[in-house]
Structure 1
């Protein structure tokens, strides 16, 4: 991952995703680029082409909030993508984040006997898990990296019926939440870029933080499961979140989870 010019990489990638007609521009003749040309984006954002070139080349890394807002509007960015653009432009690097989960949090997730739960950090390293989470999948074992496992572990492809979609979402979540200036994150991305599917997903520069949503599993022991994922930030532990899966009361998935222990 080229974290040293993450802002420029993101601007170029998103510029290539906007069609001229979507931006209200008339396109004539054959175009050499699939999306907006640099001069077109500069015009739409009300900045000079020279300045936009400097941003994309990493020669200027501190655009004003007004410029960022104009670029985000011209690029038709989603709220998540706007937040990511702002973070790339002016957020200071994250400090040293804790790699140990507190005893209180471990006791909390252990007390959820019917709820698979684990703790991960911003880099998607699993830091702690309860027994039911590890029974649901070895991916949720402390010491595992969720994104690496999703792309490189064949068991993940069998576990998730929607594996290809979930894998792409995990890459988009890593981009949204991880700090590109963190050396361990850069090393993780570099190792994953050897995988062609991850490389294709990462090159899209999609941004989508982890959300509460329904997820399907095809467990090798208890069969199909449909669970609701909840994401809970841990106060006082920067970057750590609890991921918990819940089955609807009385649903077949609840009975299946009970058979895992």
Structure 2
């Protein structure tokens, strides 16, 4: 049985052309990408040890080995961070099996006060599973009529993969789907996200599971929204991590003057007030 760490290393190895690393073309290969022997040599480990890591038979590689693999794969900073995270949770899987528990939904008072200071801007407090825990009136304005906030406990990940309206709302739906699937790996624990992953795998099918198992670090560029009222919005995202709460505060900023004007028009439509969901 494989592990997230092994899956990621194998996927990255398969995606690399040897020529891009200055390695000679050795003819036909049984699988695409970098040979296991070449990666092992670049990382300074044995082929047998690398095989054990990729197949999940060694779940606790040392920090130097993880760093050597990152160097050998020429990972960028975001991918290196993901590799280290996967090494951490993969090692934890064989140490303890805790009972699945949902992440906390309460938003601290000081975080809510900060959110109010951002009014009438566009901001939301969420967790890595996509639960919308608190939002500003500006966030409600730009998502009104999309179906995202229609449920008692709105969840962006579930909305992206199960609500047909999401494909119309997100101009770059594929990129957003990649982001939401990737973020499930960044939850407080594997147990926290397992229940949601299982649910989505059933209703969303391969569209979700393929993204979840690719371990591709998303670029998170400009967010383009097609609002039902007509205007297309281009928003920049600034994220404030709240590590003690396993939550994040995301602020959305207009990327151009046209978006700023469209957001102002949406604010004058009937909207809601700041709301915290617990």
TM value normalised by structure 2: 0.79
Aligned to 1:160: 170
Aligned to 2:160: 150
Aligned to 2:69: 71
Deviation of 1:220 after TM superposition, in Å, equals: 0.9
Aligned to 1:32: 30
**Of residues 200, 204, 223 in structure 1, which corresponds to 2:231?**
223
> Which string of whole-angstrom CA distances, capped at 9 and with x for unpartnered residues, describes residues 198-217 of structure 1?
233233220248x5x53221
**Of residues 124, 132, 137 in structure 1, which corresponds to 2:130?**
124
RMSD: 2.8
Q: 1:131 to 1:16 in 2, by over 3 A?
A: same
Q: Does 1:10 align with 2:17?
A: no
Aligned to 2:276: none
Moved more, 97-106 or 28-37: 97-106
> Which string of whole-angstrom CA distances, capped at 9 and with x for unpartnered residues, describes residues 218-248 of structure 1?
11125222222221123x7332111122336
CA distance in 2, matches of 1:126, 1:233: 15
Q: 1:96 to 1:144 in 2, by over 3 A?
A: closer
> Which string of whole-angstrom CA distances, capped at 9 and with x for unpartnered residues, describes residues 119-150 of structure 1?
11122222222333233224257722222211
CA distance in 2, matches of 1:102, 1:222: 35
CA distance in 2, matches of 1:202, 1:98: 23
CA distance in 1, matches of 2:104, 2:207: 31
Moved more, 22-31 or 53-62: 22-31
Structure 1 unaligned spans of 5+: none
Aligned length: 254
Moved more, 7-16 or 192-201: 192-201
Confirm or deny: 8 A CA contact 2:5 2:54 kept in the other structure: yes
CA distance in 2, matches of 1:170, 1:85: 18
CA distance in 1, matches of 2:257, 2:20: 45
Aligned to 2:182: 172
Structure 2 unaligned spans of 5+: 93-97, 272-278
Confirm or deny: 8 A CA contact 1:173 1:207 kept in the other structure: no
Moved more, 148-157 or 185-194: 185-194
Deviation of 1:259 after TM superposition, in Å, equals: 2.4
Aligned to 2:48: 50
Aligned to 1:192: 200
CA distance in 1, matches of 2:257, 2:117: 18
Confirm or deny: 8 A CA contact 1:110 1:130 kept in the other structure: yes
